[in-house]
Amino acid sequence: MEFDKIQEIIVDVLNVGKEEVKPETRFVDDLGADSLDIFQIIMGIEEEFDIEINETEAAKIVTVQDAVDRIKEATA
């Protein structure tokens, strides 16, 4: 469930195909995201899941799976 929602956010922000967004996909290396893109993705995640991700935690989110894990921690 979290993955599907994050995938939608990433596809929308980065204008990439759904098939490019997998759990192991890295935002910068695989999708070419820059710092503004990552900020927009984090904002989308915060809004969608009603959580807050601080700057330190956001810096640790490198892959899509990292984002899923962070959401699970925040909503547990």
Identity at 38, one-letter amino acid code: I
CB 51 within 8 A of CB 71: yes
Task: Classify residue 15 as left (phi > 0), alpha (psi -120 to 50) or beta.
Answer: left
Residues labelled as active-site residues: 34
What ranges make up the beta strands (E) of 1-76? none
